[in-house]
Chains A and B, each alone.
Chain A
């Protein structure tokens, strides 16, 4: 990025919570990559979801993404679609998602929380009110799938002005000509979606990832997290070896789905089952050689 572009991109930013930057600094100091875990708020019900979130850091989650449920998750595969619908059926709303974050923050002041989802529920809630409530609840960053740089004025710029990181997705289709635009107002970290596709389906090869990371590093000093299609400890370790963090979502959400009864209610052991998988993946990530 040119100095001028960097300066203009920095304009209108308020100090953020610093949690995301501190966490990536700590990971770097420890010489390892991080594990970013995704679960949908309120899946399969608000109480189970609350218990799960609170236990994620101890199981090895370095950063936490919380999905804001939406009826029409266009960029998500079947696993996350189903989790979103389960949460909505259990009565989840954006207001309740923010309450979940507040609750988490009461016990954990440092694990970064990133809300991920689609724009319409935020638009309905009201951008200014959402940003101020999210900030107060302890949200550190936002990933809003259907807001490309072309729509930065909707939420990205107001979020930066409110001191909340706006984390952008870069994809294999984001070419060198487009990357500067994608990076201009990205903060916190860059989330590289390793395949052209929806969540939880295909995986990228290590060779593809290596060259993608090299390409992205030429454009930015932001921490780099890689996701989409990571299901096993070995895959997570391979990603953590070359990037700053591995993002895992569908695998956890599928583990939730495996622990439901025929009415989509949590069976005993659901939380432990998911935490076991988090722990396995965290072990993989922590054992990876940088």
Chain B
């Protein structure tokens, strides 16, 4: 085997990251998947595509997002210097729109006239509905009934933005079922429709494409931390459901071997229980939703329910590039429980005046675990991937407060 001299070259032409990834889809979709790949390859070579995307990211999304020195948390933990990459300040309140903007500009280039998406917490659905309003394209968002019940404000937002929200009643009625239903829609509407997948998973070229659109996060961090500190960070921390905010932060730094990276999965009620969403630490490789990756599954290969207090992490799989980076050991994958995330959520609100989403609250748990033991000149950059307004009902319920 040849020596690995870069971690950033993947995937190969078949969409493989090591043994992960691939194109495990029905024949009806294959020609379309190949068309998306050709169109994306052409767009990458076209400066007008990059220019159009850059325009909207700057003037509409509000990029670059700040890199903020979280001084009070730094003092609270008493060790490493903590920076937040403020993706929660993007329009629509999370990193999701970086990817949606990239994909919709591509969909327009391809002449597609209808957009579909799946959503769990609703953040990707809101971001997709937003760009569809902006570009005047009809939008259908598939969302599990269970998630609709616990994310009512986002459902209403999507409807205000003109999207049709279709409740998914099949399976466990959460994100994985929403993705099944979106794939079924796509199979039936191949000619007109572009499927904006919300995370760095699915059939090739989606994992690579979503990663590329989210890599703006890491690219900006590089410039911003050099300006603030005159050097690169020592550690990067991000939460992981499918893994798009994490791969967006990590990917530009993968070849800087001295930078440690921590991906934080949702441990739900605990990894020792059957109620968690930690595919890497609690699952094993399998094939679902177009790619080979780590999955929560039983001994017969049936997919198991994921659980997390955070609907955005509540998915039984993970992007294939993370599966590969896990196996080769470049990134350290850890987990945080519902309870730990709730505590970090409240701490961040009180000390920094930032109400984080429950998803990055998981990342903050890892920061809390490591920061105190690290020297004061150790630089941690954590991706504050979304804001917590959407979660206040869940948190209030957990804290026994009636709103």
Contacts and interface: CB of A to CB of B under 8 A. Distances in A.
Given A146-B24, A168-B27, A170-B27, A120 B303 contact: yes
Contacts of B25: 74, 146, 148
B14 interface: yes
B183 A173 contact: no
B16 to A, nearest CB: 10
Interface in A28-82: 70-75, 77-78, 81
Give the interface size class of chain A: 35 or more
A85 to B, nearest CB: 7
A72 B301 contact: no
Output the residue of B23, B27, B290 with the most chain A CB within 10 A: B27
B176 A72 contact: yes
B300 interface: yes
Nearest to B22: A151
Contact of A71 (B184, B191, B299, B303): B303
A173 B192 CA distance: 13
Chain A contact residues: helix, strand, loop or mixed: loop
Given A151-B24, A173-B190, A124 B286 contact: yes
A246 to B, nearest CB: 19
Given A72-B171, A150-B30, A120 B297 contact: yes
Nearest to B31: A173
Contacts, number: 119
Interface residues of B, number: 36
A119 B287 contact: yes
A41 to B, nearest CB: 12
A124 B288 CA distance: 12
Interface in A104-123: 118-123
A78 B26 contact: no
Interface string B286-309: 111110000101011111000000
B180 interface: yes
Given A171-B28, A198-B184, A121 B289 contact: no
B176 A119 contact: no
Given A81-B170, A124-B299, A173 B28 contact: yes
Given A119-B24, A196-B187, A198-B184, 5 more contacts: A72-B171, A145-B26, A148-B25, A150-B22, A150-B30
Interface of A: 70-75, 77-78, 81, 85, 88, 93-95, 118-125, 145-151, 168-175, 178, 182, 193, 195-198, 201-202
14 contacts: A72-B303, A74-B180, A75-B28, A119-B287, A121-B302, A124-B297, A146-B290, A148-B24, A149-B30, A150-B30, A168-B27, A178-B31, A193-B28, A196-B187
* Top-8 shortest CB links A-B: A124-B301, A121-B301, A197-B188, A171-B28, A93-B300, A75-B26, A146-B24, A120-B301
